[in-house]
Structure 1
């Protein structure tokens, strides 16, 4: 039976459920590697999902996520993983000024507030203060045209991450 846990991940945090059956038992505060919609990321275990949250009296969510469909925890984070994560954070801090300058040079109405690499270093996530709009798309396209790798532009507002509107 899968062991569902809540994991917080990302520089501007998101919380999601993961299947930790293969590494159970797991404790609050442990660091784990998880595969997210963004790629591989380091996350902190918040808590096991209580069975009461599965109680049918709470109503049925629009999308029923079964335990079998949950993404799996890759593994507990090793000391090397924590060191690699710190190195990625330092690298992101060093690149911050370069990305601010690119946004100015490309005449985009965006304010860069943070950036982070996914743990596998396959994607750079740029957090910008803005709503989803043409400047976010332009930033991603300009970065791709300049050969700067896979870039995800994630708008942020006072309520947190700006999601893609439901169509």
Structure 2
């Protein structure tokens, strides 16, 4: 079962005690558009699952590179809803954004460990036209550097 919250100003009920502060830090960083504190809430071997690639990326630097770049690419980024898993260690964040003239909707699936660090971050995006615009822009900016992290464990 998932617990839903419409706004990120109040966390979903049932979050693990270590996850709630990390999720609040995440939202604060997104609002400031500054991910300088990401390392404090990310496991060094975090797994990042991009909507553009089947093979995941393994490492905090890969996640940081992708997220810092997407913050530059996305326009009008807004989180709409957040849901928490029964164990309180996972959240689902629904968002919308624009890339150029393409609107998109997406979901961030974030799994935390018992210390509140992100261990898995998966992104899904629709529609295809929005995903293609995102992929083209991200590829042009970080395609080669991000590929170096693919599949490394």
Please report the TM-score for the alignment, with normalisation by the length of structure 2: 0.32
Q: Which has the larger radius of gyration?
A: 1
Relative contact order (alpha carbons < 8 A, sep ≥ 6): 1 or 2 greater? 2
